[in-house]
Every structure is written in C-alpha cells, then in structure tokens.
Amino acid sequence: MGTADIIDGKAFAAGLRERIGSAVTELKAKYGEVPGLAVVLVGEDPASQVYVRNKGKQTLESGMASFEHKLDASTSEESLLKLIAELNADRAVDGILVQLPLPAHIDSQKVLDAIDPEKDVDGFHVVNAGRLATGGDALVPCTPLGCLLLLRDRLGDLSGKHAVVVGRSNIVGKPMAALLLRESCTVTVTHSRTADLPGECRRADILVAAVGRPEMVKGDWIKPGATVIDVGINRVDAPEKGDGKTKLVGDVDFASASKVAGAITPVPGGVGPMTIACLLRNTVEAACRRRGWAMPEL
Ligand code: NDP
C-alpha cells in the first residue's frame, strides 16, 4: 500500500480558465465580439446565490459577457418560459444556464427543454443528452466533462480501461458513463440497487463516485493503483474543529482510499472547481458553433 497522487482539480481548473481567457481574447481580435453567458436564478436559495455569483464573476474574468437574471421566488412558469424565449432569440447570448433547483411550482424539465439546445451549456436538454448517447456533437454536462478532462490529463488514452461509475443521475452518473464509453472504456454503472457494490468497485481501473453519501466508498473497495474521481460534495459535522463546526467531504473515504488508489481527487479542490471552468468552456464552444467561428484549442 502506498500513498495516492493527489489530482489537483483546483490547479487544472485555473489553467483551463487561463486558456479560455486567451481564447476569448483571440476570438475578440478575430471577430470583434465575445461569447456571452446568461444565468437565470429564481428565488433566494443561499447556495444557488453563491453559485450564480461565482459563475458571473468567472465569466467576466475570462473576458466574456455575463447576463444575470434574478427573478422572484413567486415567478410563474409562464414568465420564466417567456424569459427563456427572449434569451434564445438574443444573438448576444451564446449560453443559457438556469440554476437548479427551481421552486416546486415550476416544472424544471419543461424549462430546461425550452432552452435552445445550441445554447444549452449545462447539457441537460434532452437533445444534448440524446446526442451524447448516440455519439453526436453534444454540449456535455459540466461536472462529468470536468471529470473526463482530469482523467485524460492523468491517464492519457482511456481505451480498454474498466470504469465503474457509482450513481446514475441525469446530471452526473449517466452522462459520465456515456463519456467514458465514448472514450472506449468498458463501463459499469452502479446505483442503490446494485447487488455487490464493493465487489463492482474493486474491478475498476477508473472509479467515479457520484452518490451524495459522505465517505461511503472505502479503501478496501478500491483496486490497488486505481484512479479515483470523487464527485461528492457533502457537508458534515466536524466536532474536531470545535462546537457546531462543519466541513466538506466527498463520497469517498479519502483517508483509507488514498492508501490504496494510484491517484485520487480531494474534496474540496478536486472536481468542484472543474464544473464552472467547464461551463465557461461550453460557452466558448456554443458560441463558436452557433456563430461559425473556428474553435480555439483549449
Ligand atoms: P443524485 O441524488 O441525483 O443521485 C445519486 C445517485 O447515487 C443515484 O443514482 C442513486 O441511486 C445512487 N445512490 C444513492 N445511494 C446509494 C447507495 N447507497 N449505493 C449505491 N448508489 C447509491 O445525486 P447527483 O448525481 O446530483 O450528485 C451526486 C453527488 O455529487 C452529490 O454529493 C452532489 O453534491 C455532488 N455533485 C457535485 C458537483 C460538483 O460540481 N462537483 C455537481 C453535481 C453534484 P438510485 O438511482 O438507485 O437512487
């Protein structure tokens, strides 16, 4: 047993944001315009407010245009759909992101499917999910895309590797599995009904955990030398830091897993920072496709 290399998602994301910044400068010089991202927030969920603020800030830092739309929690589905239609028609807007979760009176899938698939930088539209599943030119959900970029950076060619994805959500697990399949991995998708989860995980050269259960994946579930990507973000009590204190942990038990894995992402500082960087990347890609610009190397 050794000590796993730490996959530094924070540093990788910073590098990617820098490359995006240069790409935006290049596009502006060549075409006289910059890509634009519209972010829509409905209501006052504190976590969503932080995400939206960070997305807006990083969009501007990369040199792109940011359009923020903050709507009251009581906004009707109809007026939200009207705003989406306006953003679909606005030629300065290349990407549209509706921050989830939406208030209960609004049908989220209906709203997501109202976004023009060419502007769907979250990759949640059924057309993009279908394109990803059928090998088409999809805009890919940001978190699994971030995981893939970290895996490629670490391992290079992924073909022939056995990848196990824990979790089958539409946002992470399913698109992650589709991406790994696209890379010619042999993919196993596991979930809450999987019969022998530890046994399935032990077969993985690449293990991606996206479960939402703090520190569920233990070191003895991991094949020695495997690459472990921990998508989970869970806030738990941390009495060792003092009364009432909390900390963030992943879905993988880092202490035991890092003794067995070849490489592992930490939480925080692993997959988390990649998500917004990939959102910016998708916005550049959406702009290039829609406007017929040459896509810069990222
Ligand atoms: P969901 O709750 O939508 O999905 C969780 C998945 O895990 C489901 O498929 C569920 O199975 C499966 N699961 C739950 N319990 C078990 C179990 N005991 N054994 C095996 N499988 C289980 O979560 P998300 O995919 O949205 O998110 C997963 C994690 O990733 C969360 O911690 C979330 O905070 C984090 N996340 C991080 C992001 C980032 O930017 N880094 C972005 C998005 C999410 P079933 O389908 O059978 O119910």
Average pLDDT estimate for 66-94: 98
Phi and psi based region of residue 160 (left: phi greater than 0; alpha: psi -120 to 50; beta: remaining)? left
**Two structure tokens written together for 159:** 């073909």
pLDDT of residue 174: 98
Average pLDDT estimate for 64-91: 98
58 as an active site residue: the answer is no
99 as an active site residue: the answer is yes
Q: Ligand 1 test: best mutation among 231, 234, 248, most atoms within 8 Å of CB?
A: 231
Average pLDDT estimate for 91-98: 98
Q: Is 261 a residue whose pLDDT tops 70?
A: yes
Give 2's pLDDT tier (boundaries 50, 70, 90): confident
Q: Give me the CATH code for the 31-125 domain, please.
A: 3.40.50.10860
107 as an active site residue: the answer is no
Q: Is 138 a residue whose pLDDT tops 70?
A: yes
Distance CA 8, CA 11 (A): 6
Average pLDDT estimate for 122-131: 97
N-to-C CA span, the chain: 36
Average pLDDT estimate for 244-250: 96
Average pLDDT estimate for 139-159: 98
Mean pLDDT for all residues in the chain: 97
**Residue 211 near ligand 1, beta carbon < 6 Å:** yes
pLDDT of residue 276: 96
Closest-lying ligand 1 atom to the alpha carbon of residue 168: 9
Average pLDDT estimate for 222-246: 97
Give 48's pLDDT tier (boundaries 50, 70, 90): very high
Ligand 1 centroid – CA 169 distance (Å): 6
Task: Give the global pTM.
Answer: 0.97
Q: Is 1 a residue whose pLDDT tops 70?
A: no
pLDDT of residue 122: 97
Contact 177, 140 (CB under 8 A): no
Distance CA 59, CA 72 (A): 23
Q: Is 158 a residue whose pLDDT tops 80?
A: yes
- For domain 142-272, give the CATH superfamily: NAD(P)-binding Rossmann-like Domain (3.40.50.720)
**DSSP assignment letter at 294:** P
Domain positions in the chain: 31-125, 142-272
Task: Give bridge partners of residue 268 from the DSSP assignment.
Answer: none
What's at 181, amino acid-wise?
L
Ligand 1 centroid – CA 192 distance (Å): 10
**DSSP assignment letter at 258:** T
**Two structure tokens written together for 242:** 């003092």
